[in-house]
Homo-oligomer: A and B are copies of this chain.
Amino acid sequence: MEYTKPLAKLIEYFQKLPSIGPKTAQRLALHVVKMSENEVKNFAQALIEAKTTISYCDVCFNMSSTNPCEICSNSSRNKNIICVVAETKDLIAIEKTNEYFGVYHVLQGLISPIDGIGPDDIRIKELLFRVNQNNVSEIILALNPSVEGEATSLYLTKLLKPFNIKISRIAFGLPMGSELEYADEMTLLKALEGRIEL
- Chain A residues in the interface with B (C-beta under 8 A): 1-7, 9-10, 12-13, 16-20, 24, 26-33, 35, 37, 39-54, 63-66, 69-70, 87-89, 92, 95-96, 98
Contacts and interface: CB of A to CB of B under 8 A. Distances in A.
A24 B14 CA distance: 13
Contacts of A95: 1-2
Q: Which 9 A-B pairs have the closest CB atoms?
A: A1-B95, A44-B44, A40-B51, A10-B50, A6-B50, A13-B43, A10-B46, A44-B47, A4-B64
Contact of A1 (B5, B44, B92): B92
A69 to B, nearest CB: 7
Please classify the interface of chain A as helix (H, G, I), strand (E, B), loop, or mixed, using the class held by over half of its residues.
helix
A152 B65 CA distance: 52
Contacts of A17: 28, 31-32
Nearest to A36: B51
